[in-house]
């Protein structure tokens, strides 16, 4: 049975799909007369990999983009691999005591999720875990904002986030939830081993059950005395503190 397809749009998203997962790109649409030199580069790369390329007018691209800014490029893409929860233990084990997991508890904005995935990929995260309910899922906007990270990261969409956290604890993963009211500083915590960093939604932060299943709550110190950071910014800060410690 062939995989279902969807449209991914934007120069970065299309270029990344061609670079990392060309076998799942079914065709590429590019704006006729588009002046951006990257459009030509994408066309050449697609043709090198024997992928159908069509030059179309802007209206055709607008139609497949569904309101997302396409920058003159779109690709029909076989749905990315979906990861089953039962595969997570093997990923943690393969990390040999240095698993770095990002858990997002109810992020609503696809731009925020895409930016979080981009940071996770740049930090070399082992996997990202999101809940299936009351949270944005991987869509065209997320793919575009993630600049390809959504196609290369193992992303687990789980039915019961609290249960998943408990399962991670059984695997020897220490769960740190980020909360502004916490006493402990993120920078005072050892992040070198098996670690999951848990961040909450844009408005409400961590849900109560999620908090209850964290080993410890920590905060990002903010000398400016501002109330909170955007979730994607906080994600980048937390992940790269772990990267800093692991490379020290």
Average pLDDT, the chain: 91
Looking at residue 1, its pLDDT comes to: 41
In angstroms, the CA 53 to CA 28 distance is 5
Q: Which residues are part of a known binding site?
A: 200, 220, 229
User: What does the radius of gyration of the chain's CA atoms come to, in whole angstroms?
Assistant: 19
Q: 16 is written with which tokens?
A: 């990344």
Secondary structure (3-state) at 146: helix
For residue 149, the 8-state DSSP code is: H
Tens of pLDDT, residue by residue over 56-108, are 999 999 999 888 889 999 999 886 667 899 999 999 999 999 999 999 999 99
pLDDT of 2 > 60? The answer is: no
Looking at residue 82, its pLDDT comes to: 74
Q: Which helix (H) or strand (E) holds 130?
A: strand 127-131
Q: 200 is written with which tokens?
A: 């909450």
Q: If you search the block for the tokens 């990315």, which residue do you land on?
A: 80
Looking at residue 144, its pLDDT comes to: 77
In angstroms, the CA 172 to CA 179 distance is 22
Residue 132 to residues 18, 97, 106, 160, Cα–Cα distance (Å):
28, 27, 9, 8
Q: For residue 13, which of 85, 86, 64 has the smallest C-alpha distance?
A: 64
pTM higher than the cut 0.85: no
How far from chain centre, in Å, is Cα 185?
A: 25
What's the fold here for domain 85-247?
Answer: Alpha/beta knot (3.40.1280)
Our CA dihedral for 128, 132, 134, 137, rounded to 10 degrees, sits at: 60
Max mean pLDDT among 12-21, 164-173, 215-224 falls in 164-173
Which segment of 10-14, 76-80, 216-220, 233-237 scores lowest on mean pLDDT?
76-80
**Contact status, residue 77 vs residue 26, Cβ threshold 8 Å:** yes
User: Which one of the listed residues 19, 31, 85, 181 is annotated catalytic?
Assistant: 31
Q: For residue 74, which of 118, 112, 18, 21 has the smallest C-alpha distance?
A: 18
**Contact status, residue 88 vs residue 156, Cβ threshold 8 Å:** yes
Looking at residue 3, its pLDDT comes to: 59
Q: If you search the block for the tokens 């993963």, which residue do you land on?
A: 173
**Inter-axis angle of helices 231-247 and 110-122, nearest 10:** 10
Per cent of the chain over pLDDT 70 is 97
Looking at residue 79, its pLDDT comes to: 64
Which segment of 46-55, 137-146, 178-187, 192-201 scores lowest on mean pLDDT?
137-146
- The count of residues in the chain is 248
Looking at residue 80, its pLDDT comes to: 63
CATH 3.40.1280.10 domain residues, the chain:
85-247
Query: Which has the higher per-residue pLDDT, 28 or 222?
Result: 28
Tens of pLDDT, residue by residue over 124-150, are 999 999 999 989 988 777 877 887 788
Q: Is 31 a catalytic residue?
A: yes
Average pLDDT over residues 158-186: 96
Query: Which has the higher per-residue pLDDT, 193 or 17?
Result: 193
Average pLDDT over residues 197-202: 94
What's the fold here for domain 5-78?
Answer: 60s Ribosomal Protein L30; Chain: A; (3.30.1330)
pLDDT of 187 > 70? The answer is: yes
CATH 3.30.1330.30 domain residues, the chain:
5-78
């Amino acid at each position: 049975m062939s995989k279902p397809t969807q449209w991914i749009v934007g120069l970065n998203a299309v270029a990344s799909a061609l670079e990392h997962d060309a076998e799942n790109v079914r065709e590429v649409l590019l704006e006729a007369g588009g002046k951006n030199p990257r459009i030509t580069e994408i066309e050449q790369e697609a043709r090198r990999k024997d992928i159908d390329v069509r030059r179309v007018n802007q209206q055709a691209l607008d139609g497949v983009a569904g309101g997302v800014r396409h920058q003159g490029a779109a690709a029909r893409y076989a749905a990315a691999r979906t990861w089953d929860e039962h595969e997570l233990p093997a990923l943690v084990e393969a990390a040999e005591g240095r698993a770095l997991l990002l858990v997002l508890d109810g992020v609503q904005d696809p731009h925020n999720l895409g930016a979080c995935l981009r940071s996770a990929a740049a930090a070399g995260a082992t996997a990202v875990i999101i809940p299936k309910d009351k949270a944005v899922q991987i869509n065209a906007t997320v793919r575009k904002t993630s600049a390809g990270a959504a196609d290369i990261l193992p992303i687990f969409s789980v039915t019961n986030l609290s249960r998943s956290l408990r399962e991670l604890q059984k695997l020897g993963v220490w769960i740190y939830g980020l909360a502004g009211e916490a006493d402990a500083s993120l920078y005072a915590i050892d992040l070198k081993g098996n670690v999951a960093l848990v961040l909450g939604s844009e408005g409400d932060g961590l849900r109560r059950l999620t908090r209850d299943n964290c080993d410890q709550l920590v905060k990002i110190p903010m000398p400016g005395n501002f109330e909170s950071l955007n979730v994607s910014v906080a994600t980048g800060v937390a992940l790269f503190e772990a990267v800093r410690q692991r490379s020290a």
